[in-house]
Structure 1
Amino acid sequence: MDNTSHIELSESALANNFQYIRERLAPGARLSHVVKGNAYGHGIDPFVPLAHKLGADHFSVFDVHEAEQVLKALSEPVDIIIMGMVAQEQLEWVIQKNIGYFVFDSKRLEQSVLLAKKLKKKAKVHIELETGMNRSGFEMENWPQISRFLIENAAYLDLQGLCTHFAGAESIANHLRVRQQIKNFRKGRALFKNANLKPKWSHAACSAAFLRFPKTHFDLVRIGILQYGFWPNMETYISIAGLEENPVDPLQRVINWKSRVMNVKKVHKGEYIGYGTSYLATQEMTVASVPVGYSHGFSRSLSNSGRALVRGMRVGVVGVVNMNVMMLDVSHLDHVEIGDEVVLIGRQGDQEISVSSFSEYSDQMNYELLTRLPLDIKRRVKTI
């Protein structure tokens, strides 16, 4: 049985976004598709095979569980990097499966050597350098020590990557900080090069850095939000594509979130709608109930402010968003019926509801709303 809503992934939109990204990728650099957070809410199971069909052969995830999901979703081997959590008891499996992983502390590095000896198989490590994010990574004063350790244990460690992460490349307010991080990362690359250590890939750029700092493409870029058809923030869009006389968004949203009208009823002037007294009908109204609420990822903060599409028209949420239900004001539409399609994210006719629009009515970011979409909502692929 399906959930009360479903998600469609558009193959044509994803193909468009891949083309946009590949046209801007530095010559010789490789593209890693970031699918953490259940592929930013799109679903690892449907998204990874779809991306692979369109030429994706390298994926980045946050943890071991996501790496396992990527492997299960594909019948062919691909390169995978785990950027975050690898528990000690999971490390042997990771090495055995030829999966690369970030190393940002000495204990993980030492444990990698011990397990590589046991398995008689090199561990594919990506050494993360702390350049100013102050989240994870080896501190600058420890870089010489780490380089010596890598040389001494070269028989057990395959230096797949040298990497870092920027602290907010999407915002001009962070540019001085990011530029200093770039300088620090270049110092790290030079130190490892002088030690005759040659990582297969140097990588630092996320979607925002990929767009705003092209010199950070190095050998590999890690693209997340951009491939799904969303800009890291409005500032990035304006700086890249929005300054033209007639700006046209070159990206297309891959995700479409849809439900159906559950009930239609009349509400008289002077009556309250839904829980409490947050919305008072100031005229005769027609209200449609939709079986989607905050338990499905439609935030309660969108009460009396969210938007949806019904019969090709934009309609507003009225009353408090419930756990499982929201109400829409469809007074200005003709003949709304039970079963009519409701678009929560995506296009209907000439109208579109983007995830970005949600942030206009709530405190949620693109990333937050997408990754909060429940796992049990059915994801379907709409092929070209």
Structure 2
Amino acid sequence: MNPPNAQSFLEPQSRVQVDLSRFGKNVRTLKGLIPNETRFCAVVKANAYGHGGIQCAKTALENGSHFLAVARISEAVAMRDAGITAPILLLGESLPEQVSFLTAHDIRASVADIHGAKTLSAAAQALNTTLKIHIKLDTGMGRLGFLHPTAITQKAGDSAGIFQAGGLAGLKGLEVEGVYTHFAKADVIDKTHANGQLARFNEMVAMLADMGIRPQIRHAANSAAVLELPEAHFDMVRPGVAMYGMAPSDEVDITRHKLTPIMSITAKIIYVKIVPENFTVSYGCTHVTKAPTVIATVPIGYADGYSRLLSNKGQMLVKGKKAPIMGRVTMDFTMIDVGHIPGVKPGDDVTILGAQSNERITADDIAGLTGTINYEVTTGLTGRMPVSHV
């Protein structure tokens, strides 16, 4: 008797699949919207918005991306460990003790205040090295970055230092390669706020030039600005969500550019049972059947990142038909009503995100039901479901 195949016991009952060919096509489409001389920086932070950071980074580079951007140094370390050699911009905070790694591995640090700049400068000088940096300007996002002088108060402190005589320009050990900002409201039809940020950015870049700081790379455009604000393309663009085939908001139309989603989530039904009328389902008994029906149990729950807010609201696809969620989503399982779908049995395929036959469930659909955005739907997936790339 042959021993059982151990791998078969490990085969997951729910999984995430990412179509890298579609991803590459999306990258090429976005590149086609910018001038040839404009660099392309693929934002692959947060595990490429849940799609697999290493694989998406490599695919972006294969399809013409020049830079990568991440939010945490651990993400940059993973890229380098995977053999990726392209320039990486670290969008988050950089610490003095990280300078040796940053310089050795061609990772650019973001500098958002004069104190941080001084500590990085001191660390670089102590190592007798030069750290490439990108200056972050806060033109209206309110998160990170130097403020425009007109927004500075007496309590602004480090936010004012960049525009003081001998500020950043006098710091040794730092090479200012880039300057950038981030739009807070480019993903709406009314571009008033975005245009205001753009004007402030141009003013601040001119002020830096007056101080002798003239970075070779100016960048501001996120996905929405790449699609709808060509005057923000500058020397480099930084698309994120649009590369993954998702719209920055419901006010930005990506379909006219034929950007398509690249993620699907599927599972196998593990249990089916016929139940009578007035049968209660799941914790709290929040669902009571109105007639005899069939319950199918699907091995996905909020521990996988499938939101509990989908309880009694969400749907899944079985045999090309929509099956509503019955009761509360639990930690490991979700129950769906398949009484209207003939012949459902354990082992049948369920599509949780993606297309099946002529029906589709999108990240936007799920986001609409849970009161969030498509970004959170994909980035919120946990490591319990393996990600496969095709």
TM over 0.5: yes
Find out whether 1:232 has 2:270 as its counterpart: no
Find out whether 1:219 has 2:251 as its counterpart: no
Aligned partners of 2:137 and 2:257: how far apart in 1?
35
Q: Structure 2 matches for 1:242-253, cutoff 5 A?
A: 250-253=258-261
**Is the 8 Å Cα contact of residues 73 and 90 (structure 2) preserved in structure 1?**
yes
**Is the 8 Å Cα contact of residues 26 and 214 (structure 1) preserved in structure 2?**
no
Could you tell me which runs of 5 or more consecutive residues in structure 1 were left unpaired when the two chains were aligned.
242-247
Q: Secondary structure at the match of 1:380?
A: strand
What is the total number of aligned residue pairs between the two structures? 371
**Is the 8 Å Cα contact of residues 147 and 197 (structure 1) preserved in structure 2?**
no
- Give the superposition deviation at 1:97: 1.9
Give the corresponding residue for 1:358.
366
Q: 1:143 to 1:87 in 2, by over 3 A?
A: closer
**Is the 8 Å Cα contact of residues 24 and 59 (structure 2) preserved in structure 1?**
no
Find out whether 1:183 has 2:199 as its counterpart: yes
Find out whether 1:158 has 2:175 as its counterpart: yes
Aligned partners of 2:384 and 2:59: how far apart in 1?
19
Aligned partners of 1:42 and 1:365: how far apart in 2?
16
- Give the superposition deviation at 1:316: 1.2
Aligned partners of 2:230 and 2:259: how far apart in 1?
18
Give the corresponding residue for 2:184.
167
Aligned partners of 1:343 and 1:146: how far apart in 2?
57
Give the corresponding residue for 1:24.
33
Find out whether 1:338 has 2:355 as its counterpart: no
Give the corresponding residue for 1:313.
321
Q: 1:71 to 1:290 in 2, by over 3 A?
A: same
**Is the 8 Å Cα contact of residues 28 and 64 (structure 2) preserved in structure 1?**
no
Q: 1:338 to 1:146 in 2, by over 3 A?
A: farther
Give the corresponding residue for 1:245.
none
After TM superposition, the score normalised by the length of structure 1 is: 0.91
**Is the 8 Å Cα contact of residues 43 and 238 (structure 2) preserved in structure 1?**
yes
Q: Secondary structure at the match of 1:235?
A: coil
Of the three residues 35, 38, 47, the one matched with 2:44 is 35
Aligned partners of 1:186 and 1:215: how far apart in 2?
11
- Give the superposition deviation at 1:345: 1.0
Q: Secondary structure at the match of 1:337?
A: coil
- Give the superposition deviation at 1:57: 3.7
Q: Secondary structure at the match of 2:277?
A: coil
**AA in 1 matched with 2:215:** P
Q: 1:208 to 1:143 in 2, by over 3 A?
A: farther
Q: 1:218 to 1:290 in 2, by over 3 A?
A: same
Q: Structure 2 matches for 1:1-384, cutoff 5 A?
A: 1-73=10-82, 75-141=83-149, 142=160, 145=163, 148-153=166-171, 156-172=173-189, 175-237=191-253, 241=255, 250-382=258-390
Q: Deviations over 1:148-207 (max 9, x none)?
A: 334333x5221111111111211245x322221111100011122233322121011111
Q: Which has the higher contact order (CA 8 A, sep 6+)?
A: 1
Q: Deviations over 1:37-88 (max 9, x none)?
A: 1110112133223333333341100111111122223x24101001113234
Could you tell me which runs of 5 or more consecutive residues in structure 2 were left unpaired when the two chains were aligned.
1-9, 150-159
**Is the 8 Å Cα contact of residues 43 and 375 (structure 1) preserved in structure 2?**
no
- Give the superposition deviation at 1:16: 2.2
**Is the 8 Å Cα contact of residues 261 and 339 (structure 1) preserved in structure 2?**
yes
After TM superposition, the score normalised by the length of structure 2 is: 0.90
**AA in 2 matched with 1:72:** D
Aligned partners of 2:300 and 2:324: how far apart in 1?
14
**Is the 8 Å Cα contact of residues 96 and 119 (structure 1) preserved in structure 2?**
no
Q: Deviations over 1:108-159 (max 9, x none)?
A: 2112211222222211110111212222111223376367334333x52211
Q: Secondary structure at the match of 2:278?
A: coil
Q: Deviations over 1:321-379 (max 9, x none)?
A: 11110011111212111111111111222222111110222112101111110024211
Give the corresponding residue for 2:6.
none
Q: How much is the aligned-residue C-alpha RMSD, in angstroms?
A: 1.9
Q: Deviations over 1:218-259 (max 9, x none)?
A: 01111110000000111112xx65xxxxxx671111111111
Aligned partners of 1:321 and 1:64: how far apart in 2?
34
Aligned partners of 1:195 and 1:86: how far apart in 2?
24
